[in-house]
Amino acid sequence: MLDRFVRNSRACFALWTFTLVAAAQTALPQTLPSVTLDEALARTLDANPALAANGYQVDAAWSRVQQANIAPNPVLDLAINDALGTDDFRGVRGAETTLSIIWVLERGVRLRQIDAAMADVSLHEVEAQVMQLDAAAETARRFLACLAFQARLVNAAEAIRQAGQTVEAVRARVAAGGATQAELSRAEAGLVRAQLLEEDYEHELVSANHRLSEQWGETQPDFGRAVGDVHALPAVEPMETLRSRVDANPDIAFFMSRRRLAEAELHVAQARSRPDWQLRAGVRRIEATDDFALVGEITMPLGTRDRYLGRIAETFADMARASGDARATRVRIETALFVLYQELLHDVDVATTLSERLIPLLESALADTRRAYELGRSSYFELSAVQSELLEARNELLETSIDAHGLVVEIERLTGVRVLTPAEAQ
């Protein structure tokens, strides 16, 4: 069951990487191998320290099943009567010696205990699924952070390139007497600011790589870059399709498993409310007549049927609480899914508008303004303004795309299944 869930988790969170086909290049040389999201997820599910520790809880639950399956041992009883007395009972002449074996008639208690132990195993397995899904989602988030800083470095490099072109254009105007030294200083200051931003992103990328490698228990990254392109927008299925998959969320399964455990414990309490019977059988030796006889006995306690009434009431309350928690969790998940889905549609629409309409207009405006500035027909203020607008639009497109992929990760965490359509994934 757990192996199947591991495979499903890997496939679920790896789907959106199929659209991340172009790697963001940085200005730093890379000597270490790259890593894909699928590889990061596999390493997380195989080596995450928290998941490994939780696996021992599942092992412990199976040990409790083994323990519950052990039947009570029979009791060997030796009784000597009428010995060491006076006259006819002096010594052991009149003694009666009885050797008996006593069995406890469990009357279904052990079977109920086994059922409860198995329900506890199921609960711990679902807890493991929740932890695996959480770990996979966190790995996807951290992987996306690596991609984001790689892409921000690309934008920063483009900003440096444009700032350098502006410096050269202003320097040429200053040499020709068409611009002031103050304009050149401002252009050079813009170049320095762009370089500082690139350096900041480089430090952030190093930290992001360390946070990602932490997911599989490494303190030093053994990869140089994450493979992907956050500009590739995800395609999602209709809302109704996603809502129909909410039942696959292990958070809901956890509460349903808790209810099944409470129900099994209820059956144990009901079985224990019936008093245990004891069966005794043995052989009696009568010294006075030198005879043997069989003996038998059955013991039935009286007036003990109400000793588990409180436990039975408690398990009924636990069952009701688990059912209520499951309903509340489903409402919370469906509400969050709707909000995330609407945000995702908005981000995709904004990113499409930016990339297909706004940025091409600003690129054209920058090219025209740069030519006009070189010919002395435009001011440095106009050139700087258009250049800033273009860089801002590109950064907005990048951040919107990053947000969209982040929303995909959260939607997959809520549904537990893939979001991309197969055609788009391929």
Whether residues 261 and 409 share a domain: the answer is: yes
Whether residues 36 and 15 share a domain: the answer is: yes
Residue 209: what pLDDT? 95
128: amino acid identity, one letter: A
Q: How confident is residue 8, by pLDDT bands cut at 50, 70 and 90?
A: very low
Whether residues 78 and 67 share a domain: the answer is: no
Residue 274: what pLDDT? 66
Rounded percentage of the chain residues whose pLDDT exceeds 70: 79
Query: Where is average pLDDT lowest: 135-144, 174-183, 196-205?
Result: 174-183
* CATH number assigned to the domain comprising residue 173: 1.20.1600.10
Whether residues 44 and 21 share a domain: the answer is: yes
Q: What is the mean pLDDT of the chain?
A: 79
Domain count, the chain: 2
Q: Are 234 and 408 in contact (CB under 8 A)?
A: yes
Whether residues 149 and 205 share a domain: the answer is: yes
Give how far Cα 399 sits from Cα of 144, 294, 344, 359, 402, Å: 12, 89, 13, 14, 5
pLDDT digits (tens, 9 = 90+) for 106-141: 666 777 777 777 777 777 787 888 888 888 889 999
Provide the whole-model pTM.
Answer: 0.73
pLDDT digits (tens, 9 = 90+) for 387-398: 999 999 999 999
Whether residues 93 and 6 share a domain: the answer is: no
Whether residues 143 and 170 share a domain: the answer is: yes
In terms of pLDDT, which residue wins out, 26 or 8?
A: 8
Whether residues 83 and 154 share a domain: the answer is: no
Residue 305: what pLDDT? 56
Whether residues 399 and 353 share a domain: the answer is: yes
Whether residues 269 and 283 share a domain: the answer is: no
Residue 267: what pLDDT? 58
Q: Are 330 and 253 in contact (CB under 8 A)?
A: no
pLDDT digits (tens, 9 = 90+) for 297-352: 777 676 655 666 777 777 778 778 878 888 888 888 888 888 999 999 999 999 99
Whether residues 100 and 125 share a domain: the answer is: no
Whether residues 281 and 269 share a domain: the answer is: no
Tell me which residue has tokens 């988790």: 9
Of 307, 327, 354, the last residue of a domain is 307
Q: What are 163's two structure tokens?
A: 């700032």
Domain limits at 91? 74-105+277-307
